[in-house]
Chain A
Amino acid sequence: MTAPVSRRQLLGYGLGAAVMASIAGCASPGSTAVNAAPTIPPAGGKVTLTYWSWLKNLQKVADIWNAKNPNVQVETVWIPASNDGGYQKLFSALAAHSGPDLAQIEMRKLPAFILVNGLVDLSRYGADDHAGRYDPTLWNQVSYNGGVFGIPQDSGPVGFFYQDELLEQVGAEPPETWDDWAALAGELRRAKAYLDCFPLSDPSIFTAYATQSGATWLKTHDDGWSIDMTGDATMRVARFFDNAIKKDLVTTAYEPFSPAWFSAAANGKLASITSASWADALIKGVSGAKGKWRVADMPRWGNAGYGSTYMGGSTAAVLANSQHPHEALQFATWMTTSQEGINTLIEHCGIGWSPCPDIIGESRKGPSEFFSGQSYNEEVFAPAVKQQNPDWTWGPLTQQTFNILSDQFRKQASGGTLVDAVARAEGEIMTAFRQKGLSIRKADHS
C-alpha cells in the first residue's frame, strides 16, 4: 500500500512545480528583449508583409507599392481603431508571440508598446538615414533611448476653425490671443451663441493647449521619468478654462463632433472649434456648412509658448515578431515620404497631416471650395507645423493618464476646478507609473 501515497506525493510535486512555473511565467508576457537580439538580414526572396491598420482602403495604397515591388508584397488588415479594440488585439497578439509585421500605432501610444517589448528599434535597420525627411518634432516623438520605434505616418497641427458670419455679427476677427478669444466668447454669449465647447471626458484638447503653452509633462532621464503637470505652462491653461467655464464662456454640455455639437454648429449656436487639421473632414459633415467656415491660426498664450500645437497623429511601427523588419521599414518610409504614397493616402484613406514637411499632398494645395475659397492648408496648417512645442515626450501610460484626467475633469460638474483636477491627476499618474514598476519623480522647478 505504498503506491497511493507516493502517487499522491508525486502529484503534489508536479502540481507545485507547475504552479511555480506558471507564476514565474505569467509575470509579464512579452518580456523577450527583441532589440537585444541580432538584427534580421534582408530577405533573399519574395516576402509578404502584413499591416494592421484602421485606415480605410489602405490596400489601395499598398497595391501601388505591390505593383512596383514584386518581392515585397504588402497585405493590409483592417482592425478597430486604437482603443476601440485595435490595441487590445495587438497586445494580445504580441503576448501570443504572433501579430503583423506593421501596425498603425498612435504617437502617444508608442511607449506603451515599447514597455512590453513590442516594437522593433528601427534605428538598428537604418531608420536614422531617413530622419531628415520628417518633421523633427514628430521624429522626436518616436525616438526613445536613442532608438526609433515607429515611422511617423500622419499628424494633426491645430488651427482655429470658425463660422465667418457668426463672428461678423459681433464685428469680430479671429482672435490672435487667448485673451482676445475670451473677449470674443463673451460677446457671442450676448448673442446667445457659444464660441466653443470644452470636453470634460476627453482631455486630448486640454493636453494640446498645455503643449502649446509650453508644457512638457514628462521628461526622460538616465534614472527614469520625471513629471511636471503643475508648472506655469499647464496652470495657465487650467486657470484660463476654469475661468471660462465659470463665466459660461464655453459649454461643457456636449463634446466636439457629437450629434449635439453638429446640431449646434448647424443652427448657428456654436461659432468655432479649435482643432487639428483633420477636423476639416468632420466639419464638412455639418449640414448646410458649405462656404460658411474659414480657418485661422490658433490663438496664442500672449508671448509665452508656441504658435500652434498638435493633436492626434499615428505611426507605422514594426512589431517585435516581424521576420522582415528591413522590408517593413522600406515600405513605411515609401508610404510616408513619397509623393504617390502621401497623395494616395490622402485620396483613399483620408489620412491626417503629412509627416513630411516638403510634401503636403497635391489635393491639399490651392483654394478649398468648402472653406470659402481659402487655401487653408497652405495658409494655416503648413506654417503651423513649424511652430510647435518640439520637446514634448509621450509616456508609457497615456491612456491611463487620459482616463485619470477625464475622471478628475468630470468633477468640474460638481464644483471642482481644472487646477485641482490636474494637480490630483499628477499624483495618481505617479502612482500608476510606480504600479507598473517604473521609477518617476516630480520634476524640480527651476
Chain B
Amino acid sequence: MTATQTRLDHQPARTRRAAPNSRDRSAGRSKASTIITTGILVVVALYFLVPVYWVVLAATKTTEDLFASNGFWFGSSFNLWTNVVQVLTYDGGVFVRWFANSVLYAGVGAVGATYFAAAGGYALAKYEFRGRNAIFGTVLGGVLVPGTAIALPLFLLFSQLGLANTYWSVLLPSLVSPFGLFLCRIYASASMDTSLMEAARLDGASELRIFHTLGLKILTPALVTVFLFQLVSIWNNYFLPLVMLADSSLYPITLGLNNWSSQVERLPEFYELTTGGVLLSVIPLGIAMIVLQRFWRGGLTEGAVK
C-alpha cells in the first residue's frame, strides 16, 4: 500500500500542470486509423449495450411472447405500459417502496459517509497528534478487508444489539468509507495550504468553523468523488442487506428484484414483473451514470485516485 500512497502524494502537483485536454495527443493519426478505432469502439459498445437493449424489448412483451418471439426484436404485442403499471402496482406498490429504500440508503449513506470521511481525512492531514499514523494505518487496512467478510460478523453483532432487520442495520455500515477517508487525507495534505488555516485562526475563527468553511470548500472535488463512489457502492450492495434484512418492506431494490426473479420458475408471470422492474431500475441509473460520469472524471482528475 505504501507504494500507492507515495505515488498519490506526488500526484496532485503533476495533475495541476496537466493541460486541459490537448487536441493533439496522439502522434500518428489518419483517416484509416479513425475508421479502425471507431469500428472497434462501436463493436465494444454493442457488447455493453446489448443486454440493456434486450431488456428494453423484453419489457414490452407478455410472458408468452418472451419465449415465442425473437429476443432481439419486438413481439407480436406491445405490452410495455401494462407491464410497467403491473410493476408499479404489484403487491401494493412494493416496487416503489424498494426504490425509495434504495434512495434512502444510498442518499443518506453517501452524504453522511462523505462528511465523516472529509472531517476525518482533514484532521489526519492537518493536525499533528499522537496516534495519527496508527489510525491512518488501521483505516487503510480497512480498505483492504472485503466488505462481505465483515458483513457476517457484523450481522451477529447487530443481532445482539437488536439492530438487525432495521433500517439502521444497512445505514450504519454505509456511513463509513475508509477509502473516502484515505482520499480526503491525501487530497487535503496535497492541496490545502496550512497558511490559509493560520490566517483564519488569526481572524478568530474556531477550528471547527475553519473546517466547515475553508476545509470543505477546498476539499470539494475530492468530496464529489467520495460521494459518487459511496453512492454507487451502497446502491449496488447486495450482500449486506441480504444478510441484515428479513423483512421485505425494508429491502433495497437489488434484493427486491432478486426476490421476484427467483419466482419465475414457479410462476411465469413474474417474468413480466422482473423484466419491467429491471428496466425501470436501469433507466434512472443509466441517466445518472451518463450525467455523473462528467463529475466523476472531474473529481478523479483534479484530485485523488491515482
Contacts and interface: CB of A to CB of B under 8 A. Distances in A.
A touches B in complex, CB < 8 A: yes
Interface of A: 4, 22, 25-26, 29, 54, 56, 77-78, 80, 84-85, 89-90, 92-93, 95-99
Contacts of A22: 157, 160
B246 A92 contact: yes
A235 to B, nearest CB: 37
Contacts of A85: 262
Interface residues of B, number: 21
A26 B244 CA distance: 15
A78 B263 contact: yes
22 contacts: A4-B130, A22-B160, A25-B160, A26-B157, A26-B160, A29-B156, A56-B267, A80-B259, A80-B263, A84-B262, A90-B246, A92-B164, A92-B243, A92-B246, A93-B246, A93-B247, A95-B156, A95-B159, A96-B246, A97-B159, A97-B164, A98-B247
A92 B255 CA distance: 15
B156 A26 contact: yes
A92 B165 CA distance: 9
Contacts of B259: 80
Given A22-B160, A26-B160, A95 B155 contact: yes
B266 interface: yes
Interface of B: 130, 153, 155-160, 162, 164-165, 243-244, 246-248, 259, 262-263, 266-267
A98 B247 CA distance: 9
A50 to B, nearest CB: 10
A22 B157 CA distance: 7
Contact of B246 (A4, A78, A89): A89
Nearest to B164: A96
A93 B266 CA distance: 24
A95 B244 CA distance: 10
A56 B262 contact: no
B266 A56 contact: yes
B248 A77 contact: yes
A443 B151 CA distance: 41
A97 B162 contact: yes
A98 B267 contact: no
A84 B266 CA distance: 13
Looking at B153, B155, B160, B162, the one whose CB has the most chain A CB atoms below 10 A away is B160
Contacts of A29: 156, 159-160
A92 B243 CA distance: 7
A334 to B, nearest CB: 25
A310 to B, nearest CB: 23
Given A92-B164, A98-B164, A98-B246, 19 more contacts: A22-B160, A25-B160, A26-B153, A26-B156, A26-B157, A29-B156, A29-B159, A29-B160, A77-B248, A78-B263, A80-B259, A93-B247, A95-B159, A96-B155, A96-B158, A96-B159, A96-B165, A97-B164, A99-B246
Contacts of B160: 22, 25-26, 29
A95 B153 contact: no
A92 B267 CA distance: 26
A93 B263 contact: no
Given A29-B156, A29-B159, A89-B246, A95 B164 contact: yes
A29 B153 CA distance: 11
Nearest to A18: B157
A92 B250 CA distance: 15
A99 B165 CA distance: 9
Contacts of A54: 266
Contact of A80 (B155, B243, B262): B262
A56 B259 CA distance: 14
Most A CB atoms within 10 A — which of B162, B243, B262? B262
Contacts of A92: 155, 164-165, 243, 246
A10 to B, nearest CB: 14
* Residue from B153, B159, B267 having most chain A Cβ neighbours under 10 A: B159
A78 B266 CA distance: 11
B247 to A, nearest CB: 7
Nearest to A22: B157
Contacts of A4: 130
A175 to B, nearest CB: 33
- Chain B CB count within 10 A is highest, among A89, A96, A98, for A96
Contacts of A25: 157, 160
